[in-house]
Amino acid sequence: MKKTIQQINQNIKEGKATALTAEEVTQLVMEGEKPTAEDIDVVTTGTCGIMSGTAAIFHIPVAEPGTFKKAKSILLNGVPGFPGPCPNEWLGSVDLMIYGTAHSINESQYGGGFLFKDLVSGKEIEIKAEDFEGNIIKSTATLEDFGTAQMIGTRSAFKNYTAFVNPSSESVTSIFNAVEMDGPFKGITFSGCGELNPLQNDPQLNSIHKGSRLLINNSEGLFIGTGTRSTPEKPNMMITADMKEMDPHYIGGFRTGAGPEVYNSVATAIPVLDDTILKHTFIKNEDIPLPIADISGRHSVLSQTSYGVWRDVDERPSYEESLCQRCETCLVEDRCPTKAFQNHELNQTRCFGCGMCAYSCPFGSFQMETGTVSMNWKGETKTLDVSCRQSDIKRARELAYELKNKIINGEFIVG
């Protein structure tokens, strides 16, 4: 059967479209079903994880017009931005760009990702600008005060990623783990949402093309094209959306051993034009390769596993307060990448499901099944606990369902 985008969109407008998430399609196949393009109009996908290539383009008020000629430098909550390219002479406002990986000059564990979440949450932020005459201008603003707040992801949602281990006895600092990674083989860290990931379900970009609509942190955005470092074997996405429409639940900062990063959530809609397109969505986690590399040399592949590590694991930890020893220095509070554990309370909404709490607490106050990975190392089989997940399957799944429901309700047109 062959369908057109126009036919699918007409079904959406009339409330007749059938939409399933990629996980739901895979589950049908695993149960022995044989869905066809006649049965399904759209498959939705989702991912959530650290996306280092994230930047925001802002136009923000700083002072009254005529107060200063041109900004030389600017800080938002201590996070440095890059003024320009428009000089905005005497306007009292500034065009600037801020990276999601930018680090605050005031607080080592605060950065662009945390700033973006604060802005999208409606919080007031502090602005400090210096003009070319050396004058310092201070003010405050919320996202609603901004004239422009556009996010761009220069390389987002890679088709798949790499898992990392530390085979040496020395600890290694890296963005690929929430803390310094101990060794040898004390755990494994990985990213990617496997069978739910957008480009795992459309690896040749047969359905997702330039101009395709998608959701970025639940704001309707666009797929611009493949991003930096994209290859035919390992494609990624360059995407953009209005930050003023984003949901703070899907965006935030994530502290790593090398400083704060940014996480985003992305969902795409795959219009099922024929059975070939649909069959690409039948992929199972166990069939998706996940290379394992040395964290000290990310291209040095040591072994290989699969995204089956997502099967039968916990999305979130449970906290047994009665087991908490109220340590003077709490390892969990010190290490939690999203600051979800503060003052002996676990904020499940802020939690990312990374597993660092269960890995770190020596008294078992946190329980979480994060999975294990077996790898061959010099003829020996090693079984490693997943110590840190840098992708959040729960948020990815939630956004895929958000998109599915928007399509069913006629609120999102594909193509």
Distance in angstroms (rounded) separating the CA atoms of residues 211 and 55 = 19
User: Do the domain assignments include residue 143?
Assistant: yes
Distance in angstroms (rounded) separating the CA atoms of residues 334 and 331 = 5
Return the sign of the alpha-carbon dihedral for residues 356, 361, 362, 365.
negative
User: Do the domain assignments include residue 122?
Assistant: yes
**pLDDT at residue 15 is higher than 80:** yes
User: Do the domain assignments include residue 117?
Assistant: yes
The predicted model gives 136-161 an average pLDDT of 97
Residue (of 73, 69, 63) closest to 139 by Cα position: 63
* Mean pLDDT score of the chain: 95
Confidence of residue 72 (pLDDT cuts 50, 70, 90): very high
Could you list the residue range(s) of the whole structural domain that residue 114 is in? 64-149
* Residue 84, token pair as written in the block: 């320009």
Residue (of 94, 98, 134) closest to 116 by Cα position: 98
**pLDDT at residue 198 is higher than 90:** yes
* Residue 313, token pair as written in the block: 């694991």
Residue 92: the pLDDT is: 96
Residue (of 171, 153, 163) closest to 214 by Cα position: 153
User: What is the reported pTM?
Assistant: 0.96
Residue 196: the pLDDT is: 98
Residue (of 205, 351, 177) closest to 261 by Cα position: 177
User: Do the domain assignments include residue 171?
Assistant: no
User: Do the domain assignments include residue 138?
Assistant: yes
HSE-CB for 86 with a 13 A CA cutoff: 13
Kindly state the greatest CA–CA separation across the chain: 71
Residue (of 231, 10, 336, 263) closest to 113 by Cα position: 263
Distance in angstroms (rounded) separating the CA atoms of residues 19 and 401 = 10
Q: What amino acid is encoded at 373 in this protein?
A: V
Asked whether 185 and 13 are in contact (CB, 8 A), the reply is no
DSSP of 344-359, one letter per residue?
Answer: TEE-TTT-----HHHH
Confidence of residue 377 (pLDDT cuts 50, 70, 90): confident
Return the sign of the alpha-carbon dihedral for residues 376, 377, 383, 384.
negative
Residues 74-128: pLDDT tens digits? 999 999 999 988 888 999 999 999 999 999 999 999 999 999 999 999 999 999 9
Distance in angstroms (rounded) separating the CA atoms of residues 184 and 166 = 6
Range with the poorest average pLDDT among 19-23, 282-286, 294-298, 402-406: 294-298
User: Do the domain assignments include residue 348?
Assistant: no
Residues 246-259: pLDDT tens digits? 999 999 999 999 99
The count of domains in the chain is 1
If DSSP codes are grouped into helix, strand and coil, which group holds residue 221? strand
Range with the poorest average pLDDT among 177-181, 195-199, 294-298, 337-341: 294-298
Residue 411: the pLDDT is: 97
Residue 86: the pLDDT is: 85
User: Do the domain assignments include residue 116?
Assistant: yes
Residues 286-342: pLDDT tens digits? 999 999 999 997 778 999 999 999 999 999 999 999 999 999 899 999 999 999 999
User: Do the domain assignments include residue 319?
Assistant: no
Residue 303: the pLDDT is: 93
* Residue 182, token pair as written in the block: 């101990």
Confidence of residue 1 (pLDDT cuts 50, 70, 90): confident
